[in-house]
Structure 1
Amino acid sequence: MEIIRYAELNAQPWRNGGGVTRELASHPHAASPQASTAQTPGWDWRVSIAEVAKAGDFSAYPGMDRVLTVVEGELLLLSVDGAEHPLEKYRPFRFSGDAAAAGALPTGDIRDLNVITRSGAFKGYTSIIELSKKRAHPVFEGQLGILLQGQATVSPGTAGDEPGTATGAEAAQSPAAGASETAAAEPITLNRYDAVVGSDTATPEILGRGFLAVVSIDRVAD
């Protein structure tokens, strides 16, 4: 079971000075932030959280599809190819990375969750889930579960559990613990914006009170 701790991620400043971005996961995993640019990203998909403190243009991502969700703050007024879209908290919005996009902040700074996928290769989805203390929410292979608000813990489940089988997902590009180890693991506390990497083996299960973003990355069939 793998947890990406938001507090340990490096902030990458925007070129226009309007904010910073922290990458949660990408595929293939870039060797360094400098390996990618908005025009020639070194990945086929990326999940990140951005802090937006200044109105201005968004970087274009030609050949990409974007899903943007405000996760902190009240409102982002997003302009896409001249059309204005008021984006309220926890309402995912999909648009083309080829579009000319800009953001205004009528109610102050915001933080947003960004899912960017290469068109024709992958498709990204974002769902906002209200957590329960009684019924655990599983995070499957090809998904990330990101705690947006509240208190929660995560534990490895028993789905697909086989001795000696490794857990974890391709999403974070790093090894995870064996199922025999995670089966007896105690619940782990999640902090705000921590991400749980999904798996179909010892599937992570999240319990708590608050809201969870579930990001799914599906490969597009040929």
Structure 2
Amino acid sequence: MNYKIIQPKDFKTSHWSGGTTTELYIYPEGSDFKSREFDFRLSIATIIINESDFTPLPGVDRTLLLLEGELELIHEGHHSTTLKPLEQDSFSGSWQTKCIGKGKDFNLMTQKCNGTISVVKNDTVIEPDSEHTCIYALNGDARVNGISLKEGSLMVVKKSKKG
């Protein structure tokens, strides 16, 4: 198992009209989110205003997992949902999406690949079944396959190539 741990000091935070977004990881490494040249991106957004519109991201599939607060997501012409902590919604970045509520969410954005978000408990053993598995320590320190992961850090596991 090949892995690396990314510390919070290495994350990139930027501002948007509704709050802040902290990029935890983007692949391929060194990709640029603004130019939309990435396969996948993990980030945490903090929403500080009660009503906001998501940035249109045509060609990008999104999964949002709520960490704090309560959000209503209205995807015009598609569906609406109200999220409470640890609930998630998947949608197309090309949809016009309005967000009502304040909170903090974990985002997975994909293009050219597929991905899922799962919530796991401490002292986890993983057997990667995809090229990348990313583990974020949200509340407290964690142990993954016997490796310590400090709160707020991200572990990126790359599946070992056989052959």
Say yes or no: TM over 0.5.
yes
AA partner of residue 2 (structure 1): K
Match of 1:127 among 107, 118, 126: 118
Query: Would the aligned equivalents of 2:122 and 2:143 in 1 still touch at CA under 8 Å?
Result: no
Question: SS of 1:122's equivalent?
Answer: coil
**Higher relative helix content:** 1
- 1:99 lines up with 2:95 in the alignment: yes
Does structure 2 retain, via aligned residues, the 8 Å contact 1:30–1:42?
A: no
1:147 to 133, 137, 146: 137
| Separation in 1, partners of 2:99, 2:127 | 31
CA RMSD of superposed structures (Å): 2.1
Give the distance between the partners of 2:126 and 2:26, measured in 1 at CA: 21
- 1:10 matched residue in structure 2: 12
Change in Cα spacing, 1:150 to 1:102, as seen in structure 2 (3 Å) is: same
Per-residue Cα deviation, 1:92-112 (whole angstroms, up to 9, x for no partner): 21001110011111xxx3111
**CA positional deviation for 1:2:** 1.0
SS in 1 for 2:37: coil
Deviation at 1:154, TM superposition (A): 4.5
Q: 1:107-140, CA deviations, whole angstroms, 9 ceiling, x for partnerless residues?
A: xx3111111111xx211100111224xxx32263
| Deviation for aligned residue 1:151 | 2.9
- Structure 1 unmatched runs, 5+: 157-186, 202-222
Tell me the equivalent position of 2:54.
58
- Corresponding position: 1:195 with 2:154: yes
Q: What runs of 5+ residues in structure 2 fail to find an aligned partner?
A: none
Q: Structure 2 length normalisation: TM-score?
A: 0.82
| Cross-structure match for 1:220 | none
Larger radius of gyration: 1
Provide the C-alpha distance between the structure 2 equivalents of 1:197 and 1:138, rounded to a whole number of angstroms: 12
TM-score computed with the length of structure 1 as normaliser: 0.62
